Amino acid sequence: MTLRYRALQCLALLFVAFALSQLWYLGQVLRLQHHNPQGSAYMERAKAQGQVQQYWRDYDQISDYLKRSVLISEDAQFTSHSGFDWQGIRYALQRNLEAGKPVAGGSTITQQLAKNLYLSGKRSYVRKVQEALIAMMLEMGLSKRRILELYLNVAQWGHQIYGAEAAARHYFQVSAADLNMVQAAQLAAMLPRPNYYDFKGPTDYVQQRAQWIQEQMAIVRIPDPGNLPLPPASDPEHRQGTSQ
């Protein structure tokens, strides 16, 4: 058996393994059309540190204020993109090249959901590629409403705190459905560093970020909005990163 033949055989085996892994992910994504996940990869790892707090809530059982706040904070173009924020990706690539290692992700809600459900938090280009592939599967297989519903139920909001219902109870002693505009904006402002802000409390940054989120809330689109009253849209000069 020549060295070249062995190399080709190894490549063929790697391709088969890769294809099978993608089929597994696709099957998991398609199952989400009609079944809620029992947890996520992040929650499974967190269980090693103790009990995880998470309570599933359907889309209509979560305050529209929180939906709007999360999109303003994390992915204002959510309803119009196909899973990727190309401007954010270009910015992240520039930062990564300058740092010489992955330090920024430029991830959309869809990409974050892919990571939370199935992958690790380790920054690497291999993980980002897999994250992108799963994100494409999510966008093709699920509605925007379902993707946002899933994200709001598995996102981390503090130490062992996952999902909107657990977060609402933990920080404000209310249900996710009853979050008001101020509470929702504060929760969204905590998303980038949930463990830190759970420990430190509502820092000045969180309060300032939450105020900015409230000012932008009226101009973001969400799937199937209700009729909750919204503040007037802020001046156009402050509408950076939001959809009109």
Question: Is pLDDT above 90 for 149?
Answer: yes
Between vectors from CA 186 to CA 108 and to CA 94, what angle results, nearest 5°?
35
Greatest Cα-to-Cα distance within the chain, rounded to the nearest angstrom: 73
- Given pLDDT bands bounded at 50, 70 and 90, which one contains residue 94? low
Coil, strand, or helix at residue 233?
A: coil
Instruction: Evaluate if residue 98 carries a pLDDT over 70.
Output: no
* Average pLDDT value for the chain: 88
Name the residue with higher pLDDT: 212 or 82.
212
φ, ψ for residue 156 (rounded to 5)?
-85, 135
Length of the chain as a residue count: 244
Cα torsion angle, 36, 41, 46, 48, sign: positive
What number is the average pLDDT over the span 112-118? 96
Q: What is the rounded average pLDDT of the residues 17-35?
A: 95
Residue 226 pLDDT: 87
- The yes-or-no verdict on residue 101 having pLDDT over 80 is no
pLDDT value, residue 9? 82
Task: Using a pLDDT cut of 90, give the percent of the chain over it.
Answer: 68
Distance from chain centroid for Cα 152:
8
Model confidence at 91, in pLDDT bands (50, 70, 90)?
Answer: low
- Looking at the predicted structure, is the pLDDT value of residue 234 above 70? no
Spatial separation of the C-alpha atoms in residues 2 and 200, rounded to whole Å: 62
pLDDT of residue 239: 39
CA 72 – CA 67 distance, rounded (Å): 9
